């Protein structure tokens, strides 16, 4: 008998991921996901001969700049979306899809078969990932929505929510993974849920549904953990039936956990347990912490789903894989999703504790865990350049410099009204790569004030005293 998703051994997970990764790459390369296909072909990766995780490093990682820079990727963000066809189903699908399509034709004829084909090939749902360079669409086929509901059911398990609960979803409605992840969590569990309207973002107005639904579980944005208890107190709500509080969007600090727990306990939620949920903006699922009683501040990291996504932590400077429990950039590869995407997507989010495959000491689950805390958009800075507000991301300067430099240093200066410089030891005396570097950064909207050719000793002097994690990056007052 197959083990449950959260009780497989690391070796079992690896064997499963090998199989799913090969299948996913076949889908991305042989089907119609233009950006993924172009990147795999450019790297010389043939999905039909790909052997699995041992060859994962041969696939180049991808960032927003790779997708949204019109020179690097003329297809733009739309190239991330599946352009599915019936022929694509025949060529790349796993046996379960092929059997379903064949059975549909056998028992229902061509029209029913077409519906089965479309379930695997036609994107019907989308959320938007906003960030530097512009929005990126994340699309789901009907089959993908089944996977999203499955992931949601797992999130509910982690948060201690079951089908007997009544959920009040206070996440603002919109095309975000945070909202739809909670929506499909309710769908996946089959629990009664109200997705409350938030006029003007006012949580107090959304709480008018509380008395009518008498929820035993609520989902709230992480940024509302202070306003929710205050609004509940102002409305005179009785929280004594509340068993689960799911805080969505990011990690919580120890102080935030302590305050939220104390506030809800004071309002009568003596049986409540608290868990945070987080998902990469360009990802497809919400990961969850295992819940702890209100009043406690323990956190054991975000539990991932190894049969739905492959999670890595990479160096933000070089893109190399980091050892377990080492800080770095969260990177994901979708497994079994058909709506689009690219392998090895670098999120720009920092896992302060890296990723671990050790069994969770709190809940006993044996899935990879990220964290225990995560810093979203860790390498972004808001500043004004030439009178224009921009989000500067260190990683894009690094990604542009790496192929042209033996060593480099990126520095911001002048605070919010500042500029940045690139200090570089070039790979050759040819000035053309440095001109290309400037043009690439200018195209991305963040041209450097200057690019300075430097020696080893000059760079070493600049690097001295910097945090080890950011050893190629520095900020000057």
Q: What is the pLDDT of residue 467?
A: 44
Q: Which of 16, 87, 12, 25 is nearest to 55 (CA)?
A: 25
**From CA 8, how far away is CA 5, in angstroms rounded?**
6
pLDDT by position in tens, the chain (length 477): 568 999 999 999 999 999 999 988 887 876 678 888 889 988 999 888 998 999 999 999 999 888 988 888 888 888 888 776 656 555 556 666 766 777 777 777 877 777 777 777 788 999 999 988 889 999 999 999 999 999 999 999 999 999 999 999 999 999 999 999 999 999 999 999 999 877 666 787 788 888 888 999 999 999 999 999 999 999 899 999 999 999 999 999 999 999 999 999 999 999 999 999 999 999 999 999 999 999 999 999 999 999 999 999 998 877 889 999 999 999 999 998 988 889 999 999 999 999 999 999 999 999 999 989 999 988 887 777 767 777 778 778 877 888 888 888 888 776 666 778 889 999 999 999 999 999 888 888 788 888 999 988 888 877 665 543 344 555 554
Helix (H, G, I), strand (E, B) or coil at 307: coil
Residues near 88 by beta carbon (within 8 Å), at least 6 away in sequence = 30, 31, 32, 121
> Beta strands 125-129 and 136-140: pairing type?
antiparallel
Angle at 162 between CA 164 and CA 168, to 5 degrees: 75
Q: What is the pTM of this model?
A: 0.88
**From CA 235, how far away is CA 224, in angstroms rounded?**
16
Report which secondary-structure segment, H or E, holds 292: strand 292-293
Q: What are the C-alpha distances in Å from 385 to residues 344, 447, 451, 473, 476?
A: 31, 9, 16, 19, 16
**From CA 43, how far away is CA 15, in angstroms rounded?**
24
Q: What is the pLDDT of residue 331?
A: 97
* 141-298 and 380-475 in the same fold: no
Q: Which of 385, 369, 462, 444 is nearest to 420 (CA)?
A: 385
CATH class (in words) of the domain with range 141-298: alpha beta
Look up the CATH number of domain 380-475: 3.30.300.30
The structure tokens 């107090």 sit at 204
What residue segments make up the domains of the chain, in order of their start?
20-123, 141-298, 380-475
Residues near 89 by beta carbon (within 8 Å), at least 6 away in sequence = 97, 98, 101, 117, 120, 121
**What is the distance between the terminal CA atoms of the chain, rounded to a whole angstrom?**
61
**From CA 107, how far away is CA 116, in angstroms rounded?**
12
**From CA 393, how far away is CA 127, in angstroms rounded?**
23
Q: What is the pLDDT of residue 84?
A: 63
Please say whether the beta carbons of 311 and 330 come within 8 A.
Answer: yes
């Amino acid at each position: 008998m197959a083990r449950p998703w959260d009780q497989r051994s690391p070796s079992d997970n690896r064997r499963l991921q090998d199989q799913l990764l090969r299948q996913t790459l076949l889908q991305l390369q042989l089907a119609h996901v233009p950006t993924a296909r172009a990147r795999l072909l450019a790297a010389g990766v043939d999905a039909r001969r790909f052997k699995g995780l041992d060859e994962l490093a041969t696939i180049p990682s991808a960032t927003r700049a790779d997708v949204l820079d019109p020179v690097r990727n003329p297809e733009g963000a739309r190239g991330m979306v599946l352009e599915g066809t019936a022929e694509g189903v025949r060529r790349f699908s796993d046996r379960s899809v092929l059997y379903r399509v064949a059975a549909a034709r056998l028992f229902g004829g061509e029209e029913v078969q077409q519906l089965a084909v479309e379930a695997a090939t036609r994107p019907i749902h989308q959320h938007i990932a906003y960030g530097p360079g512009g929005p990126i669409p994340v699309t789901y086929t009907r089959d993908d929505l089944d996977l999203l509901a499955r992931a949601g059911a797992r999130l509910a398990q982690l948060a201690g929510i079951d089908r007997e609960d009544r959920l009040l979803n206070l996440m603002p409605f919109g095309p975000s993974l945070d909202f739809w992840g909670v929506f499909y969590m309710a769908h996946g569990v089959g629990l009664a849920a109200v997705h409350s309207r938030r006029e003007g973002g006012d949580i107090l107005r959304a709480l008018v549904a509380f008395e009518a639904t008498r929820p035993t579980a609520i989902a709230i944005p992480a940024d509302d953990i202070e306003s929710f208890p205050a609004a509940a107190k102002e409305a005179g709500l009785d929280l004594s039936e509340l068993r689960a509080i799911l805080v969505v969007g990011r990690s919580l600090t120890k102080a935030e956990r302590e305050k939220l727990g104390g506030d809800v306990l004071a309002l009568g939620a003596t049986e409540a347990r608290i868990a945070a949920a987080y998902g990469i903006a360009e990802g497809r699922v919400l990961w969850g912490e295992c819940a702890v009683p209100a009043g406690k501040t323990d956190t054991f990291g975000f539990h991932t789903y190894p049969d739905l996504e492959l999670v890595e932590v990479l160096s933000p400077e070089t893109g190399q894989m980091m050892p377990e429990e080492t800080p770095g950039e969260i990177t994901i590869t979708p497994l079994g999703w058909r709506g689009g995407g690219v392998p090895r997507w670098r999120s720009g989010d920092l896992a302060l504790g890296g990723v671990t495959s050790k069994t969770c000491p709190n809940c006993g689950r044996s899935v990879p865990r990220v964290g225990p805390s995560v810093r979203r958009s860790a390498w972004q800075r808001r500043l004004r350049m030439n009178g224009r507000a921009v989000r500067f991301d260190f990683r894009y300067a690094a990604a542009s410099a790496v192929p042209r430099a033996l060593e480099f240093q990126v520095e911001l200066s002048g605070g919010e009204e500042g500029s940045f410089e690139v200090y570089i030891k070039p790979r050759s005396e040819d000035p053309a790569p440095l001109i290309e570097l400037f043009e690439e950064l200018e195209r991305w909207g963040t041209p450097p004030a200057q690019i300075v050719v430097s020696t080893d000793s000059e760079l070493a002097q600049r690097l001295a005293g910097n945090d080890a994690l950011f050893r190629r990056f520095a900020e000057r007052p």
